[in-house]
Every structure is written in C-alpha cells, then in structure tokens.
Amino acid sequence: MNINQSLFALLESHKAALQKRFNRELPEMSLLYFRVLRQVGAGYGITPQSVAQKLHRDKAQVTRLVVEMEQQGLLQKLPHPQDRRSVLLQLTAKGASCLAQADVLQQQVVSKMTLGISTSQLQQLDEVLQQMRENLHSAD
C-alpha cells in the first residue's frame, strides 16, 4: 500500500468509526454537523461564509446546513454588527452540549485508533502530518 492509499484508508476508517459512534450514542449528529459545530464553537462571531471557507464547502451547502441546525436548536443567527447583509453564528446551549458530547466520542475513537502506539511515535506522526499540510499550503 502506498502513502495515498494509506492516508485515504485511515481517513475513511476514522470517519466510519466516528459516524458509527455518533449513530449509536448521538444520533442527531452527523460528521458535517460536528465539523460545523466545531467551527462555530471555536470562537465568537463566525459567519456562514467563513465556515464554508474553513470546511472547503460550497456556501449554499453551508447555508442549508445552518438552516437545518438552527431548526434543530443547535445554532442561532445573530445580526452582524458591521455588515447588515451578513449574520454571525453562535452555538445554543443544546449545540454546545452536543459538541461536548461529540468531542468525547471523537476522543474515544482516537484512543482506540492509537492503541498500542507510543507517545513518541504519535508525536512524530503529528509532526510529519503537520509538515505535509504546510507543504500543501505553501504549494498554493
């Protein structure tokens, strides 16, 4: 197996394990909902446009997701203080609770995934992965 196959296989296995855990313990959470909640929960005042850019998603897709998540009580829209055409997204109490639960589930998946791997190996892997990301970002 080459690096491409290994990376894709690992990512797919991680996503599948996480979605399986969500389905069992937090059925209202999809991987995409989780990613949106993490972006919104990372700080105050993120716009749907910023979420779309950070997740490399189409703005229309993120707009639909935001509407769904708002209807489910996970997010709320606030008026943008400088731009009346835009809104800021904020987690509701339910959204913050779901995000906290999802973070715990993700940590459980990561713990299972890294079982038997030493701390120094994980640190080295993290450094290599960060370098790969930097290489890709500098190539743009």
pLDDT tens for each residue of 48-68: 999 999 999 999 999 999 999
CA distance 50 to 58: 11
pLDDT exceeds cutoff 70 at 82? yes
Classify domain 3-139 at the CATH topology level.
Arc Repressor Mutant, subunit A (1.10.10)
Using the predicted structure, report yes or no on whether residue 98 has a pLDDT greater than 70. yes
What pLDDT was estimated at residue 84? 80
Could you identify the residue written with the tokens 């910023």? 50
Element (H, E) at 87: strand 87-91
At residue 75 the predicted structure's pLDDT band, cuts being 50, 70 and 90, is: very high
pLDDT at 9 exceeding the cut of 70: yes
Average pLDDT over residues 99-112: 97
The whole-number pLDDT of residue 80 equals 85
User: Residue 139: what pLDDT?
Assistant: 62
- Distance between CA atoms of 128 and 122, rounded to whole angstroms? 10
Q: Give the pLDDT band (50/70/90) at residue 44.
A: confident
How many CB atoms within 10 Å of residue 37?
23
- Name the residue with tokens 């913050």: 96
Average pLDDT, the chain: 93
Nearest Cα residue to 48 out of 75, 28, 82: 75
Measured CA to CA, the distance from residue 69 to residue 11 in angstroms comes to 25
Query: How far is Cα 37 from Cα 87, in angstroms, rounded to an integer?
Result: 16
**pTM of the prediction?**
0.86
